[in-house]
């Protein structure tokens, strides 16, 4: 079994060059997509992000982990800095963007975010997803890096109480990643991040891939 499948995450340093990272940053700085203080929610609509996600080393990593085709369907820019700082408690990522609401067992509750329909998905669907976190800045111990609980992706969907219990008895891994590096992770791995304590920004482009855009018959992922 690979390191990724055992732990639910893996760090790949030096995936994109500084020139490639700088090009992505310039494109995002000038894009017209709705932006909050925390970043950009549906960044895959941006041509530069879509191009990076659909080709080159990012797609190769996603396909290697998926053992076959991998299709990017959502991207989010997280822009943490002293001016826009937050913490995230221990949790799993369970909501997926859906083209059209279709009632299926295990899917829901449903919501709409910036015009996109979302549903909380069952574990069988989330196990088909891999997220690649492209680091546009150095992720350091003092600027709120991602923290994960290794191996917790194997336990399916967890209640808040179960997540709290895992957090109390599992030693977390601090995901320190250099600029241009990539952190691959399963959405079901329990993860969190603290507030930044330094002045160095921590911008991360979080791109999600699925083995297929069709989750159930008639239920397809939206491109977001």
Give the pTM.
0.96
User: Quick one: how far is CA 90 from the chain centroid?
Assistant: 15
- Tell me what the mean pLDDT of segment 149-165 comes to: 98
Is 200 a residue whose pLDDT tops 90?
Answer: no
Query: What are the helix and strand counts (H, E) for the chain?
Result: 6, 15
Q: Does domain 3-220 have CATH number 2.60.120.620?
A: yes
Which pLDDT tens digit goes with each residue over 83-135?
787 789 999 999 999 999 999 999 999 999 999 999 999 999 999 999 999 99
Which pLDDT tens digit goes with each residue over 12-55?
999 999 999 999 999 998 887 888 878 899 999 999 999 999 98
Nearest to 187 by CA among 143, 154, 217: 154
- Say which residues have a Cβ less than 8 Å from residue 165's Cβ, sequence separation at least 6: none
Please report which confidence band the pLDDT of residue 219 belongs to, taking 50, 70 and 90 as the band edges: very high
Distance CA 182, CA 13 (A): 6
Distance CA 209, CA 128 (A): 8
Which pLDDT tens digit goes with each residue over 57-76?
999 999 999 999 999 999 99
């Amino acid at each position: 079994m690979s390191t990724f499948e055992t732990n639910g995450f893996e760090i790949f340093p030096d995936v994109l060059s500084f020139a490639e990272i700088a090009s992505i940053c310039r494109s995002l700085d000038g894009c017209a997509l709705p932006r909050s203080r925390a970043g950009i929610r549906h960044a895959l609509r941006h041509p530069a992000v879509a191009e990076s996600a659909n080709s080159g080393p990012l797609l190769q990593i996603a396909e290697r982990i998926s053992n076959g085709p991998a299709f990017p369907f959502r991207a989010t820019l997280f822009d943490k800095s002293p001016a826009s700082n937050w913490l995230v408690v221990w949790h799993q990522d369970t909501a997926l963007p859906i083209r059209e609401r279709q009632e299926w067992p295990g899917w829901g509750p449903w919501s709409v975010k910036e015009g996109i329909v979302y549903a909380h998905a069952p574990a069988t669907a989330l196990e088909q997803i891999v997220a690649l976190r492209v680091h546009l800045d150095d992720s350091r111990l003092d600027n709120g890096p991602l923290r994960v609980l290794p191996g917790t992706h194997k336990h399916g969907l967890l209640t808040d109480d179960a997540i709290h219990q895992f957090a109390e008895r599992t030693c977390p891994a601090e995901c320190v990643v250099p600029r241009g590096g990539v952190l691959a992770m399963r959405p079901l791995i329990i993860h969190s991040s603290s507030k930044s304590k330094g002045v160095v920004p921590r911008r991360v482009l979080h791109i999600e891939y699925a083995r297929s855009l069709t989750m159930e018959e008639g239920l397809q992922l939206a491109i977001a």
